[in-house]
Amino acid sequence: MELKTHISVQNLNVFYGNEQALKNISIDIPDKKITAIIGPSGCGKTTLLKSFNRLINTIDEVKVSGKVFVDGENIFEKKADVNRIRKKMGLLSQKPYPLPMSIFDNVAYGPRIHGMNDKKKLSAIVEKYLIEANLWDELKDRLHSPASKLSVGQQQRLCLARGLAVEPEIILGDEPTSALDPRSSKHIEERFLALKNDYTVIIVTHILRQAKRLADYVVFLYLGELIEHGPAKEIFENPQMEMTKEYIKGVIS
């Protein structure tokens, strides 16, 4: 598999106080593929994901060393422009957090912040991204009702639309289906599969079956260490490390 690198992680260490959550991680995340970060709870998956957009630096007591290159730029350099880096990435968390406003205003929020005020253009943007999140047909007749009235599954897709509306290059998902029912999970999974044509998608999941359904590339973490990474087919069908074999077989969890 020929892979172009989008994010390159080099010797990344993250400490919370004295506890080391990531131990010397080096990996290249491929461009316009779905990368799944897998591993049991507490092994550092969220920490790694949050390092990609420097959300990790919002936590007190955190110490980071190493480098993370996004499009060739080391985002941990002092002069790096955090807002510009974050604008490249849309983040879906475990539970959807729609803003306390209408469906329309949720999607228009980012573009408005970036100075877009033209009503017609905003309507077009809202429609475009609700279509991309596969919500348009369900919601087009009640765009001005509050987002809080939507089902949790619809809220997660709305958060996806809100993220896409600021035109990111990278979609980060931290166990983005964990609060959803199976049907809503399937909706989100289908969106991710469609989005990888245009975006680099990175999802954290502890659901192996989900990783198998979605991932082109797999990163396996265990207790803060990178055990193995590679194309999904190789990791799932022919893992090299004993620990990976056991995790995939369900011997360790």
Quick one: tokens of 48? Answer: 């790694």
Please, are residues 42 and 54 in contact by the beta-carbon 8 Å criterion?
A: no
Quick one: tokens of 109? Answer: 């929020």
In angstroms, give the least distance from the CB of 94 to ligand ADP.
Answer: 10
**Should residue 43 be labelled a site residue for ligand ADP when binding is judged by CB under 6 A?**
yes
**Should residue 15 be labelled a site residue for ligand ADP when binding is judged by CB under 6 A?**
no
Contact map string, positions 33 to 52, toward Mg ion, x by CB under 5 A: -------------x------
Q: Which is nearer to Mg ion, 134 or 178 (CB)?
A: 178
Closest CA to 12 of 60, 58, 57: 57
Closest CA to 168 of 71, 57, 95: 71
Binding positions for Mg ion, 123-182, rule CB under 5 A: none
Q: Residue from 18, 41, 58, 117 that binds ligand ADP (CB under 6 A)?
A: 41
Beta 73-74 vs 62-70: how paired, if at all? antiparallel
Quick one: tokens of 206? Answer: 């502890």
Q: Which is nearer to ligand ADP, 16 or 109 (CB)?
A: 16
Binding partner selected for residue 47 from Mg ion, ligand ADP, none, CB under the kind-specific 5 to 8 Å limit: ligand ADP
Angle at 112 between CA 170 and CA 115, to 5 degrees: 100
Binding site for ligand ADP (CB under 6 A): 16, 19, 21, 39, 41-47, 59
Binding site for Mg ion (CB under 5 A): 46
